[in-house]
Structure 1
Amino acid sequence: MRFVLASASPARLAMLRAAGVDPDVVVSGVDEAAIIASLSDPAPAELVRTLAAAKADDVAAGVLDGDARGEDTVIVGCDSMLSIGGEVVGKPGTPEVARTRWKAMSGGSGELLTGHAVVRLRDGVVAARAEGTRATTVRFAAPEPQELDAYIATGEPLAVAGAFTLDGLGGWFVEGVDGDPSSVIGISLPLTRGLLAEVGVGVVSLWGARPDA
Structure 2
Amino acid sequence: MSGLILASASPRRAELLRQIGVSFRVMPAEIDETPQPAEPARDYVERLAREKALAVSRAAPDVLVLGSDTSVVLNGEILGKPASEAEAGDMLQRLSGNTHQVMTSVALAQADQCQALVVVTDVTFRELEAAEINAYVATGEPMDKAGGYGIQGLGGIFVRELRGSYSAVVGLPLRETAELLASAGDPVWHHWPCSKESQA
Is the pair's TM-score, using the shorter chain for normalization, greater than 0.5?
yes
Q: Deviations over 1:162-206 (max 9, x none)?
A: 111111111111112101111000000111122223333322134
Unaligned runs of 5+ in 1: 65-69, 121-125, 209-213
TM-score, normalisation: structure 1? 0.84
Computed over aligned residues only, the root mean square deviation of the Cα atoms, in angstroms, reads 1.6
Partner residue of 1:53? 50
Question: Contact 1:92 / 1:98 at 8 angstroms: preserved in 2?
Answer: yes
Report % sequence identity: 34
Aligned 1:62-211 pairs, distance under 5 A: 62-64=59-61, 70=62, 73-120=63-110, 126=111, 128-207=113-192
Secondary structure at the aligned position of 1:32 is classed as coil
The AA in structure 1 aligned to 2:185 is G
Unaligned runs of 5+ in 2: 194-200
Q: Deviations over 1:120-147 (max 9, x none)?
A: 3xxxxx2742111000001112222221
TM-score, normalisation: structure 2? 0.89
* Mean CA deviation greater in 142-151 or 184-193: 142-151
CA–CA separation in structure 2 for the residues paired with 1:90 and 1:115: 15
Partner residue of 1:67? none
Question: Contact 1:82 / 1:112 at 8 angstroms: preserved in 2?
Answer: yes
Partner residue of 1:30? 31
Q: How many residue pairs end up in the alignment?
A: 192
Q: Deviations over 1:83-103 (max 9, x none)?
A: 112312221121111111111
